[in-house]
Amino acid sequence: MDESADRALPEIYHWEGERLDSDFERARNAARMGVSAALEIAGGVCTVRVAGAHDEPNALQLRLTSGSQTRFDRAVTLSRVESSVYRAPCLALQPGRWRVALSDDANTWALRASVDGEFQRLDIEARRPEGAG
């Protein structure tokens, strides 16, 4: 074996790479379409208003990931209640660092944002992922 050659990557890296490629492609799709969303968390309800999506999905997937305590993480499926408006029961968030991921139910586009502190409303704009062709 050539000592100067790179070692083969473990199998898990192949899977993670494909997943990252898929995430980047969904972010690029959102940017191409000009998708944006306004997330509001109030009164035990999450409401999302979406603009720019070519086809209105029947549902959206929302992931709220805590930067410090995984017990606060949550995944919420929001149902369409009227044109471009989606809603689901959702508890208020603890103050802290949050990662927000929103996608359509067909996984064709995705929006991501990070927030520090406390928030009840968040505007999310599509952007091309850095370093993603």
pLDDT in tens, 50-66: 998 778 899 999 999 99
Q: How confident is the model at residue 3 (pLDDT cuts 50, 70, 90)?
A: low
3-state secondary structure 60-123: EEEEEEECCCHHHCEEEEEEEEECCEEEEECCCCCCEEEEEEEEECCCCCEEEEEEEECCCEEE
Q: How confident is the model at residue 93 (pLDDT cuts 50, 70, 90)?
A: confident
Cα(116)–Cα(103) distance, integer angstroms: 21
Q: What is the pTM of this model?
A: 0.79
Per CATH, the number for 11-125 is 2.60.40.10
- DSSP state letter for 38: E
Residue 22 CA from chain centroid, whole number: 13
